[in-house]
Amino acid sequence: MNSIVLVTGGSRGIGAATAVHLAKLGYAVCVNYLSNETEANNVVAKIEGNGGKAIAVQADVANENDVIRLFKVIDSSLGRITHLVNNAGIVLPQMRVSEMSAERINKVLTNNVTSYFLCCREAIKRMHNGGSIVNVSSAAARLGAPSEYVDYAASKGAIDTLTRGLSLEVAADNIRVNCVRPGFIHTNMHSDGGEADRIERLKKLIPLRRGGEPEEVAASIVFLLSNEASYITGTFVDLAGGK
């Protein structure tokens, strides 16, 4: 059976590293992106340059109609999906809860939680012969991100619960659902939050005394997707340097 994977938020950071790694292993990859077409096409070009197969598809995965369209494109261009990496997400500028508006909170929850549910729904509908899903959560789900991103941390706590509940719901259908929880990883997300050098400020608090690389997270995602993890479901891998 051909392995066909969707990586949401696949144009940069952890998503891009995961897409490239999976393609090297023979997966046909859909690189989903929201707005940066150039970066998404660069990931596809890198994959094709290594002899792999990939397409880039624009879709806002927090939008139900966009998700339905995204999966229809995969159906027609690559075939029926067998694997899913839910990676797309946002973080907004650092802020205390006492300052957060309902608009901000709802934007984070819709982008970081609703999107995962929608993509899981469409993937499961197609995984008639089994499949594998990996959700990208965050160490923030355990740590809370006080005074910075409690809304983001709460959204990732929801992803942990989604992972556990869905893994039990679809286990009898031979669909595995697992989760990775990255900590301080060198991606553009810190710039999105208004502090590009956040890891440098906090690395002394990390037992390994450094931030992680996207490729290190990708390696665990790839393992959990693979047949080597065939008896693993509802499981969490923390990639936070010991924190």
pLDDT digits (tens, 9 = 90+) for 25-35: 999 999 999 99
Residue 191: predicted pLDDT: 59
The pLDDT confidence band at residue 243, using thresholds 50, 70 and 90, is: confident
Cα–Cα distance measured from residue 86 to residue 71, given in angstroms and rounded to the nearest whole number: 13
Residues of the chain with pLDDT > 90, as a percent, come to 86
**Residue 175: how many other CB atoms lie within 10 Å:** 23
Q: What is the pTM of this model?
A: 0.94
pLDDT (tens digit per residue) in 55-106: 999 999 999 999 999 999 999 999 999 999 999 999 999 999 999 999 999 9
Determine the average pLDDT of the residues in 151-155: 98
- 152 annotated active-site: yes
Determine the average pLDDT of the residues in 179-194: 78
The pLDDT confidence band at residue 193, using thresholds 50, 70 and 90, is: low
Which residue out of 27, 33, 152, 231 is catalytically annotated?
Answer: 152
Residue 2: predicted pLDDT: 87
The pLDDT confidence band at residue 221, using thresholds 50, 70 and 90, is: very high
The pLDDT confidence band at residue 197, using thresholds 50, 70 and 90, is: confident
Residue 212: predicted pLDDT: 86
Please, what sign has the CA dihedral across residues 38, 192, 183, 151?
A: negative
Helix (H, G, I), strand (E, B) or coil at 146: coil
Cα–Cα distance measured from residue 206 to residue 223, given in angstroms and rounded to the nearest whole number: 24
Determine the average pLDDT of the residues in 142-158: 96
Residue 206: predicted pLDDT: 84
- H helix intervals, 36-83: 37-49, 64-77
Cα–Cα distance measured from residue 15 to residue 136, given in angstroms and rounded to the nearest whole number: 10
Give the alpha-carbon dihedral of 148, 149, 154, 155, to 10 degrees. -170
Long-range Cβ contacts of 44-48 (<8 Å, 24+ apart): 46/20, 47/19, 47/20, 47/23
Query: Is residue 138 predicted with pLDDT exceeding 70?
Result: yes
